[in-house]
Amino acid sequence: MAARCSSRTVYPWLLSAAFCLLPIAHAAEEASEGAEVPAAEAPAADSELTVGAAPSPVPVDDIRKFAEVFDRIKKTYVEEVDDATLINSAIRGMLSGLDPHSAYLEPSAFESLQESTTGEFGGLGIEVGMEDGFIKVITPIDDTPAQKAGVEAGDLIIKLDEQSVKGMTLDQAVDAMRGAPGSEVKLTIIRDGEEGPLEIAVERAVISVNSVKRMLLGGGVGYVRITQFQAQTGGDFVKAVQRLKKALGEKEALKGLILDLRNNPGGVLQAAVEVSDALLEDGLIVYTDGRIRSSKLRFNATPGDILEGVPVVVLINGGSASASEIVAGALQDNRRAIILGTDTFGKGSVQTVLQLDDTHGLKLTTARYYTPSGRSIQALGIEPDILVNRAKVTELQSSPIFKEADLAGHLVNGGSKKGKNSAMSEEDVKAASEMISKDFQLREGINVLRGLTILK
């Protein structure tokens, strides 16, 4: 839903601790004038504005003050400053003074905005951090150029091509590693166990980050983790659930689902709506409210619950923000899922990107969003139904979560035949057991699911 105002394009709605860009086009109803909107901070009728309306007059005294400051800086600052630098700095200052999420988007930020939405960019495919002034490889992403070239977790990158990374910021190093697909960068690496530095040439490629991961946990319990909400996340979530069902086959039904939204910073509003819609038969998912007419939107579920009522537990924590909170709030208010973990981040505002030209834009907070019951989570967050803090699981506590009946190849009750769990190999069981044994919140989520299954 991109709207035109003069020569500027308006892109509504961004939701995340980081930010994303996507026009919404999913089951949204623009609230007509006079339509009933939940009362949570609803604006007065005469306060509504339209995007592209005539600009409000600026007091002459304020313009004079700005012009005087501009002139004095130009004349007396220790070094010459060009006009564009001062104007851009003034614009950044105007936006940064509003709230933490409004910003002036210059070319690099505008490009990053689009990359974070699509989940695709030209690069090497590694997650990195800083250690002792060098770039440390946290992990190479599966099936990416870095992994295929032999880059390993724990490697220290000391040079990019012939340039030392010492003194670079992490952002500068990441920018240097990104580039046009097909171009090559030479990494000089220090690796434990090697006598000297290694040189690895890596050809950049378009990196597609998969935001949805799935796994069977045994006993008919499925696990889906969403790391962030990208443009394709809604469809990928539906596919993940379908594949879990298919993996179980006809002999065993999916008895419960763990949806893990921990440390998910948010992302695209439409993706959050699609994930919620997939689990709801009907009802309101979320609504937004602000001063401009186009900020008054309601998102309703369409008929069809992909799980057909199978119990769901959603895991959240303080790193779950924005779009993650929309999903948790929608499922909680519609009584579709049990929310387990700790309070979420509390970002309940919506940003709109106003494109100024091909390379610049404004990211401006234009609305708050509300859960179906009318709650604003801004600065409060979603409170879980079951409070479970993250705990360090000791070896004694990490006893096997699986019962005998959950194990591959378990004996049936009569003892005369060998039962077969067609969904999980012994390797799958081992991987699931290891993950569960290290994650106390996940273990508690499985226990809750089993209780719900028994009650059902």
The rounded distance, in Å, linking the Cα atoms of 162 and 130 is: 19
Phi first, then psi, for residue 125 (nearest 5°) are: 90, 45
Provide the β-strand partners of residue 287.
298, 370
Nearest to 244 by CA among 219, 215, 217, 218: 215
The rounded distance, in Å, linking the Cα atoms of 298 and 371 is: 10
Distance set, CA 197 to CA 158, 165, 200, 392, 440 (Å) = 9, 14, 10, 37, 40
Distance set, CA 449 to CA 244, 315, 332 (Å) = 16, 12, 15
Task: Give catalytic residues, as residue numbers.
Answer: 322, 333, 347
Strands 256-260 and 312-316: parallel
- Going 157 to 161 to 163 to 169, the CA torsion angle's sign is negative
Phi first, then psi, for residue 104 (nearest 5°) are: -90, 125
The two tokens of residue 222 are 């499925």
Nearest to 298 by CA among 5, 116, 26, 21: 26
The two tokens of residue 402 are 């699986």
The rounded distance, in Å, linking the Cα atoms of 12 and 115 is: 17
